[in-house]
Structure 1
Amino acid sequence: MSEQESPKYVLQTVGFDARFPNQNQTRHCFQSYVDYFKCITAKGEEYAPCAQFQRTYRTLCPNAWVEKWDEQRESGTFPASLEP
């Protein structure tokens, strides 16, 4: 495969958020997860701005955390309100 035929990937990291200025991004991860589900509850999954929250939590959060939170949401034991 030549260089012209190879797929191009754009690697990006999460942008700066003034609410989370510290190096530890744990809270940013959790808040983005909560914000995503609040957004899709309020606006629907097709609402494009919600995707930014999803990209952020998928970038920052370990997969094991997301799986655990998904299970908690399904069982109704998630520790935060997801209502807008």
Structure 2
Amino acid sequence: MLGIDFQKSSKGKWPTPPFDPRFPNQNQTRNCYQNFLDYHRCVKSMNLRGKSTQPCEYYFRVFHSLCPISWVQRWNQQIMDGTFAGKI
């Protein structure tokens, strides 16, 4: 499901995210939101285990490719305020 080339690409390259069969439609709003949640869940889980958050980089790159910056800023602000509706 996840392209190996996408996961191992250099930090300067930001290719288009690979096809995700969970989101087959043209509208990628849900894909954006799900990858945002997956990133924050991954970071939280890795921090609790005391491990590196480097594996979470994939989700970060995908949601930054798909999501408008204004959405990400608003969601991050809501997380800091404790009003974010998603379960992280």
TM-score by length of 1: 0.81
Partner of 2:18: 15
Partners of 1:19 and 1:81 lie apart in 2 by: 19
Q: Please tell me whether residue 70 in structure 1 is matched to residue 73 in structure 2.
A: no
What's the RMSD between the two structures over aligned residues? 1.5
Q: Would the aligned equivalents of 2:14 and 2:61 in 1 still touch at CA under 8 Å?
A: no
5+ long unaligned stretches in structure 2: 1-11
Q: Which has the higher contact order (CA 8 A, sep 6+)?
A: 1
5+ long unaligned stretches in structure 1: 1-8
Q: Which stretches of structure 1, 4 residues or more, deviate above 3 A after TM superposition?
A: none
Partner of 2:9: none
> Rg bigger for which structure?
1
Q: How far apart are residue 11 of structure 1 and its match? A: 5.0
Partners of 1:46 and 1:29 lie apart in 2 by: 23
Partners of 2:36 and 2:78 lie apart in 1 by: 13
How many residue pairs get aligned? The number is: 74
